[in-house]
Amino acid sequence: MIKEPIIIVTVALVLLALYSDLRWRKIPNCLTLPAIALGFLANFLGNSWNGLLFAFFGFLVGMGLLILPFILGGMGGGDVKFMGAVGALLGSYAVVNVFFYTALVGGVIAIIVALANKNLLDTFKRIWLFLKCVFLFRAPETGTATFKKSIAIPYGLAIGAGTILYLIAGKIV
């Protein structure tokens, strides 16, 4: 059960991360690392060692969900640590739900940005190549497709919106 003070800290984290990501396109360590530590501490104080394990597994799951896109260059390290902080605060079950909301919001944002930049076809080609590489476990073929320069989106926006959606609407899985 998520307690009210943790929800307040999570909302504060989301608002600060959103501001930072939209303004500077970066979610700094001075925001994510204290939030991770606070997630561990708050859950430990609220439920002793079980709370600490709750935060630890939430942190691992949160980081684990975004590590592959980070390794493939699809997002920054701040986004990964932001999701880890959300996991440390809310736990592994919650962060999986946040991840699904985040994916939905991120998809909508990507389509809007692609439409605004007249880049929708290239966006779908990139998604297809990414999925092909991930599910067939192979590196992308070089020189097989030409694309316009991709437009980066601040993914902290999607993570923040996904977190707030979870806090309001509840579980999705």
Q: How many structural domains are present in the chain?
A: 1
Start-end of H helices in the chain: 4-24, 29-71, 77-90, 92-116, 120-136, 155-169
The pLDDT of residue 113 is: 85
Question: Domain limits at 102?
Answer: 4-169
For 112-125, what is each residue's pLDDT tens digit?
888 887 777 877 77
pLDDT of 145 strictly over 60 = no
